[in-house]
Chain A
Amino acid sequence: MKGMTEKHCRKEDLLLYYYGELNGQRYRELTEHLATCAVCNKEWQRLQVTLEQVPRPTIELAPAERRKFAARVAERAQRRNRSKLWLWGGALTATAVLALSLIARPPGIVPGQGNKLVADAAVVQELDLLQNLELLEELDLLQDLEGQG
């Protein structure tokens, strides 16, 4: 900020000046400069006007509204706690069931093998049925031939 009397001040510095964010030395320099420089002073006035026009919207909450809000939040916090307990309970139960089923399983059976055998048996049954159908068709054919003969 040296040579501020010759140079105009930066807008960033004016902004920090407005919010009281400049340190003591810089603050004093800028104050002195604004007192002597018409251009910067005008800019400073404009900045002030703009910022003072920015509204500060405020919601007035009545005590009853505050109480209602607090009760709602507290209730939700309790619900979260309860659901957390349920979640833990569910996870523990599932783990226990899994552990028990693994312990209770007879030795020698590989999981999944049983299902495969059942599926294979179904295929064999279907093949048998197809063969029977073919035999029946052949029987019909033989009977037709006999009839013709």
Chain B
Amino acid sequence: MNPQAATAVVDPAGSPECNTEPVKVGDRCEQILLEQLRAGYPGAFEQLVEAQAARLINLAYRLVGNRAEAEEIAQEGFLRLHRSLDGFRGDCSLSSYLYRIVSRLAIDHLRREKLRRKLFFFRRHEDDVDPLEVAADPGASPRDELQAKETGRRLLAALDGLSARQRAVFVLRHQEGLPLKEIAAMLNLEEGTVKAHLHRAVRALRAELEDLQEDRS
């Protein structure tokens, strides 16, 4: 499940920081693509975006819970990579680098959204695609489906209640399957802090679920 084989050492100009582990960039195609990008080869950037789009949009979607916003974040991630190509040392894979940028952009976005909602009682649009519809099991009975939807809705509401970092840590660990060490490097946090965030996130989710189970019984 771990999408990142390599650890990251990226550009020094305010971009995500380095990891300490040895570099293992095995993807030859990606190296060629990177060289083409640097040489300004026409179509190389578009090719990279096309190859990575689904993964990054999904990551952003899991982090922010809204497709349009997720696409915007993924797009901004690609544009930042494009801008920092000169400073990109290539010590990590492009996909790791993009993963890192998108995670940080999503955290910033979540923080801004939270503040906006606090200030203006802002609600997301009702016509947004329901993430639970997207995650629904097609083989489930209507009753199971309803229960799963209700559970999912409550859990997503609980996720919304988490701080941006707690949510990011939970999504990166639980849904993206990244090791805590890698998450710590990605978000520039101590591993202990990441563990604490994960614990708080799961505690909040469990509290929500236990309430739901009480409601049902």
Q: Assign chain A's interface to a size class.
A: 20 to 34
- Contact of B174 with A80 in the complex, beta carbons under 8 Å: no
* Residues of chain B with a CB closer than 8 A to A69's CB: 49-50, 53, 57, 71, 74-75
> 1/0 per residue B73-89: CB within 8 Å of A?
01100110011000000
Q: Which residue of A lies closest to B198 (CB)?
A: A15
- Contact of A73 with B198 in the complex, beta carbons under 8 Å: no
Chain A: minimal CB distance from B174 (Å): 6
- Contact of A74 with B49 in the complex, beta carbons under 8 Å: yes
Do most interface residues of chain B lie in helix, strand or loop, or is the interface mixed? helix
- Which of B50, B75, B134, B179 contacts A21 (CB under 8 A)? B179
Pick from A52-60, A104-112, A137-145 the stretch touching chain B: A52-60
The number of residue pairs between A and B whose CB atoms lie closer than 8 Å in the complex comes to: 102
B165 at the interface (CB under 8 A from A): no
How many angstroms from the CA of A46 to the CA of B47 in the assembled complex? 45
* Residues of chain A with a CB closer than 8 A to B151's CB: 53
> 1/0 per residue A51-75: CB within 8 Å of B?
1011111110100001101111110
CB contact under 8 A between A47 and B206, given known A21-B180, A67-B50, A74-B46: yes
Since A47-B206, A55-B155, A56-B62 are in contact, a sample of 4 more A-B pairs with Cβ atoms closer than 8 Å, ordered by chain A residue number, is: A21-B180, A21-B195, A69-B50, A73-B46
11 contacts between A and B (CB under 8 A): A19-B173, A21-B179, A51-B205, A53-B148, A54-B175, A61-B54, A69-B53, A69-B75, A70-B49, A77-B78, A80-B83
Chain B residues in the interface with A (C-beta under 8 A): 45-47, 49-50, 53-54, 57-58, 61-62, 65, 67, 70-71, 74-75, 78-79, 82-83, 131-132, 134-135, 148, 151-152, 155-156, 173-175, 179-180, 195, 198-199, 202-203, 205-206, 209
